[in-house]
Amino acid sequence: MRENHAPTAMREAELSAADVAADLDRLRQNMAEVVLGKPELIRLALIAVLAEGHILVEDMPGVGKTLLAKALARSLNCTFHRIQFTPDLLPSDLIGTSVFQQHTGTFVFQPGPIFAQVVLADEINRATPRTQSALLEAMSDRQVSVDGVTHPLGSPFLVLATQNPFEFEGTYPLPESQLDRFLMRLQIGYPDRAAELGILASHRDGEPVDRLKPVLQAEQVVRLQGLVRRVRVDDSLAHYILDVVSATRSHADIALGASPRAALGLYRAAQASALLEGRDYVIPDDVKRLAVPVLAHRLLTHGMRQGGRELPAASIVRSAVEQIPVPR
């Protein structure tokens, strides 16, 4: 049972950006107790939460993808469901179905596991495209429709999907429309020696994530997400974001460039990054640090290899960021 006495991040009175950053720093430290040696991964995951985005984690099995999702859910005191994607998983297994109640003679909707605040879609690319597409409405509109009836999802709502590299047997590539719904694609990688030694030590007495205490409440996360939208973005930085996005559309090696949704995602992620660092305004470095995780997975290059640690698209985004003049 979750404890309800987590430190309060937002009071009734308005807090400064620095005060909010202090609370968010405690959140980072809390997650760092179990996600060892990955401060940048934690930072990017929290930016996605604040920006109301979803996360796709692509990496080898066993490097901590599930651990990241559990640490997020526990630190934010959110409801959590894990869905194991398999080739025989049906859309109704995700979103739920209407069940006939014999004693009343009516159909009653039984919610599926998608009805949680943090949903771990584990090995999402093992399911068929039909099942993967069942997530689209939930990820885009925070709702699902069954038998002509719309059912809203809770708030906050985060899908953290994991996928194995495409060269693994029994996997399906995610359609471009679904990739575009993920705010970021992250890779975890192997821990360094010191972090891996700490992992061994922390598991002597069981799973450390099970002992993790909440730092924020779900309703406080929603209020922080509202504060993100008030972070100032200068017009010159908005044009800079569009310049980076436009560069992906005109590049000779790109068959499918970044969408307007991608531009909005980069804009919102930059606002969340500023709030996380204790600022109420965006700076160019916010955009530059986030361009690859926000844009690269949405691009399709000519003859693109479907998998691997370093996609050509990531190099193209980095090149665009380096070449486009930074606004003063």
Whether the per-residue pLDDT at 63 is higher than 70: the answer is yes
HSE, side-chain direction, 13 A CA sphere, residue 277:
15
Instruction: Kindly report which listed range (18-22, 143-147, 312-316) carries the lowest average pLDDT score.
Output: 18-22
The predicted pLDDT at position 308 comes to: 41
In the structure, what pLDDT confidence band is assigned to residue 303 with cuts at 50, 70 and 90? Answer: low
Exposure string for 140-178, b = 16+ CB within 10 A, e = fewer: eeeebebeeeebebeebbbbbbbbbeeeeeebbebeeeb
Comparing CA positions, the residue from 81, 51, 45, 50 lying closest to residue 64 is 45
Comparing CA positions, the residue from 186, 323, 327 lying closest to residue 248 is 323
What number is the average pLDDT over the span 35-54? 95
- Does residue 7 or residue 294 have the better pLDDT? 294
Distance between CA atoms of residues 16 and 146, nearest Å: 43
The predicted pLDDT at position 230 comes to: 93
Q: Could you tell me what percent of the chain has a pLDDT over 70?
A: 90
Distance of CA 181 to the CA centre of its chain: 10
149-152 and 96-101 strand pairing: unpaired
118-122 and 158-163 strand pairing: parallel
Count Cβ atoms below 10 Å from residue 23 Cβ, excluding itself. 17
Q: Is the dihedral of CA 33, 190, 49, 95 positive or negative?
A: negative
The predicted pLDDT at position 58 comes to: 87
In the structure, what pLDDT confidence band is assigned to residue 15 with cuts at 50, 70 and 90? Answer: low
The predicted pLDDT at position 167 comes to: 56
All domains of the chain in start order, with CATH: 1-228 (3.40.50.300), 230-328 (1.10.8.80)
Q: At what angle do helices 260-276 and 218-228 cross, to 10 degrees?
A: 110
What pTM did the predictor assign?
0.87
Comparing CA positions, the residue from 203, 297, 199, 209 lying closest to residue 248 is 297
Task: Give residue-wise pLDDT tens across range 237-289.
Answer: 999 999 999 999 888 888 788 899 999 999 999 999 999 988 889 999 999 99
Q: At what angle do helices 17-32 and 65-75 cross, to 10 degrees?
A: 130
The predicted pLDDT at position 128 comes to: 84
Distance between CA atoms of residues 48 and 183, nearest Å: 7
- Any idea which residue has 């679904």 for tokens? 178
The predicted pLDDT at position 1 comes to: 36
Distance of CA 19 to the CA centre of its chain: 24
Distance between CA atoms of residues 326 and 321, nearest Å: 9
Task: Give residue-wise pLDDT tens across range 188-219.
Answer: 989 899 999 998 998 888 888 888 999 999 99
**53 contact partners, CB below 8 Å, separation of at least 6:** 158, 182, 183, 184, 265, 268, 269
Whether the per-residue pLDDT at 90 is higher than 60: the answer is yes
- Any idea which residue has 């800079």 for tokens? 240
- Does residue 14 or residue 321 have the better pLDDT? 321
In the structure, what pLDDT confidence band is assigned to residue 133 with cuts at 50, 70 and 90? Answer: confident
The predicted pLDDT at position 7 comes to: 41
- Does residue 175 or residue 224 have the better pLDDT? 224
